[in-house]
Amino acid sequence: MGNTNEISEEMAINIVKEFTSNTMYILLSTVQANMVRGYSYPYVKEVDEYGRELFVFSSLEYAKEFVKVNDFEILDGVYPLAKIEPNDSLNSFESICAIASHLGVMYIDFNPAHPNIAMGVTIPWLQKVFGYDLTKITMLMSPQMKEEMDKRADGKVPVAFNPMPIHNFKDPYSLSKERREELDKIPLDNGKSVEKYFEAIKGLNMPELIYISNLLSKSYIPKANSEGDKAKVEQYIAMLHVLDATIIQFMDRLTTYTLLDGEDMFVNNNQAAYLIYTDRFQYMGEYRYKEVSLDGYLRRLQMNDVNYVMITAGPGQMHITTPKAIEETLRKIR
């Protein structure tokens, strides 16, 4: 039954019944987290004494405290936690236990390290006491899993935890349709006055600045070119230069990262390297992130003979600049 030896089995049963009849929270993996769609999978820890275990909490407060004390990553204020609701057929506690059992996870640690309310139990004990049917598994099947199943001679479904929605997930780098429509007007409403344009973009965050950069470079400038309006082309190019300097100055105030391919900076086929302003999405690609100062980044660009820089959050839109523009902007502001 784990570390419930100091209490009677009857008391242990009552405590677990109380936990499982209400909303609980489970610790999720940050390595497997999808920080665009907002889901991840239960975190499994290998413990010498017990084997593989899951961490489950009877309150959000206890769960957050455990995450902070044990230095689990909190990405942009989002804790790696998911709700377990009693009536959730896909990710009920019984269903999680059934999948865990098939994956060789035999231990559940309730409220770990919390005084008075910490309790460890084994999944076989839960099965015996609560009559859990560990043979019935409700599982989502991705196209990759279906393809793998089709390849297997025995036709068996590969067992894996279901994706779980990250509690209180938010993506601060995405822009709503309404916000994009508001940003669409900035170049049109403020383009003829340098002062008004500076004022309009002064309070914008990085995703908003990059959105306007894309708007100018991919929409307004090509359209003005196609119409043969040289004055507008020059106006929009000037606005883009102002935006470029603003974005670089903004980056100088942030913690920045670049992508590594092995031990080297990743440079794409267009001789462009990446400068990233959040590590939120670092587990979602094939490349590793490395924190880098803008000065250190410039040195890497020179070493790799890079022509262009793609400033981005990772997924989503990118602002294209050059090593020379970064160098000149930093020289002016320092």
User: What's the average pLDDT block by block, 10 residues per block, for the chain (334 residues)?
Assistant: 63 91 96 92 87 95 96 91 91 93 94 86 93 79 60 65 94 94 88 80 95 95 94 92 96 95 91 94 87 94 93 94 96 88
What confidence score (pLDDT) does residue 106 get?
93
Q: Would you give the DSSP letter of residue 291?
A: E
> Cα dist. 210→194, 252, 260, 298 in Å?
19, 15, 23, 20
What confidence score (pLDDT) does residue 150 get?
61
Please tell me whether residue 251 adopts helix, strand or coil conformation: helix
| Residues 288, 79: Cα–Cα separation, whole Å | 22
| Residues 130, 114: Cα–Cα separation, whole Å | 24
Residue range 9-165, CATH number = 3.40.1350.90
Q: Extract the tokens encoding 184.
A: 């669409």
Which ranges in 154-220 belong to alpha helices (H)?
177-184, 186-190, 194-202, 206-215
What confidence score (pLDDT) does residue 242 get?
93
What confidence score (pLDDT) does residue 140 get?
64
Backbone angles phi, psi at 33, to 5 degrees: -70, 140
Domain residues of the chain, as ranges?
9-165, 177-333
What confidence score (pLDDT) does residue 164 get?
96
What confidence score (pLDDT) does residue 117 get?
84
What confidence score (pLDDT) does residue 198 get?
86
